[in-house]
Amino acid sequence: MKRLHNSQKIFNFVPTIFALPFLHLIMKDTPIDYKIVNKQIRESNIKNVGKASIREVKRLINNIEKETGDQFVRMEMGVPGLVPPEIGINAEIEALKSGVAAIYPDIEGIPQLKKEAARFVKLFLDIDVDEACCVPTVGSMQGGFAAFLTLSRINNDRDTTLLIDPGFPVHHQQHIVLGQKFESFDVYDFRGDKLKDKLESYFSKGNIHSVLYSNPNNPSWICFTDHELKIIGDLANKYNVVILEDLAYFGMDFRKDYSQPGIPPFQPTVAKYTENYILMISSSKAFSYAGQRVSCMVISNKIFNSRMPDLLRFYTTDLFGRAMIYGTIYALSAGTSHSAQYGLAAMLKAVNDGTYNFVEVVREYGEKAKIMKKLFTDNGFHIVYDQDEGVPIADGFYFTFAYPGFTGEQLLEELLYYGISAIALSITGSQRLEGIRACVSLVRRDQFPALEYRLKKFHEQHQ
């Protein structure tokens, strides 16, 4: 009855005498067996599928696929769908053969990786940073966790992180696990010059120690312009706030070519406008290396070498870089996988030397997104986050969509009956509660006909 009640809301413009038989037809005549989907939702013990975490949605879809034998068009997980470069794999194999598995890695990182990370930042961001400031972490997830923990202790008067949403839901969860305060806002209505007043309304309170955003953005795929990055950087300087820039999708704004080492244009970054920054450069998406859980935290020379007396409340040093590495990261994991560091170092070297073009490889995501977005918009859906300061957003790893008459949470559950999975924007801190995030990475091109059929079926039964 709950299922019927939720669906009935969508058709409240139809007289009841007609609505109920029509709903009955829709619920039964769906591409994926209605009864099985309904049963699996009940047995999942998920109170609200639309509010479920990404991993919970993944598990639910796995169970539906197993029982029905039908394959979903899976767009819930933001994982790479491309083969990782042999450059990294071979380097790891050689490292393992040499015996590194038996040796603890230096917490600061192997010299090769630190060298190539600093080169990469110079060649692709046009930013100078010392090798010592480039620190490997167990994915950007650990990098963010370590940064939140350490930055919350640099100033006794500042106890809050500002998250520019929509964003990766786990960043909210990390703060909850740490017991730390955070504030957030949806940037959709605060692009361009509006961003300045919005940020200043938070910074002026004096409790914000750092700000986090991703660029390109997960889940919306918006990209901050240089104008907006300058606003962020200028305010960071004015209020002495540290900017955490998550570059998980490095170079993947395909509207410009960021693939040539040392040649403009460079990947946009707040580091051009402030020295108060920490960059998180992941190998998961740009290098399809997610399974090895390795990334680089790049701390500005200024922040790395700063003395912050309040750190002594928790660490044996007031030097930020040493507290981060030998205090926080040591306590979290005692370093990053030894062999994985060799793999990432080799890939970065190839990219820096110009012998491997990582952007050209991942361009496939943008090409698929362009096709998929048209399939959605041709069938009554619309794109939610659609512009960067008046310019259409890029086609890339993610896109967001909605359908008239549904909230994102309702739409997510309804699409399960049509063999399409995604996540609701409501769990990302977005205020666009009508929306859903789709990830293109795991959708194969040979699934496009199935996606088109299911979207047409959905539109026919809901318009």
pTM of this structure: 0.91
If you average pLDDT over every residue of the chain, what do you get? 93
Q: Which of 182, 188, 150 is nearest to 169 (CA)?
A: 182
Helix (H/G/I), strand (E/B), else coil: 72: coil
* Burial (Cβ within 10 Å: 0-12, 13-18, ≥19) of residue 61: buried
Provide the residue count of the chain.
463
Closest CA to 424 of 413, 440, 435: 435
- pLDDT of amino acid 263: 97
- Give the C-alpha separation, 254 to 448, whole Å: 22
Res. 7: pLDDT tops 90: no
**For the residues 352-379, what does the mean pLDDT come to?**
98
In this prediction, residue 279 carries a pLDDT of 98
Q: Where are the alpha helices (DSSP H) in 290-426?
A: 301-304, 320-322, 330-333, 338-353, 358-377, 408-416
Q: What is the pLDDT of residues 407-431, one digit of tens each?
A: 999 999 999 999 999 999 999 999 9
Closest C-alpha among 147, 171, 180 to residue 297: 147
Q: What is the pLDDT of residue 180?
A: 97
Residue 18 has pLDDT above 50, yes or no: no
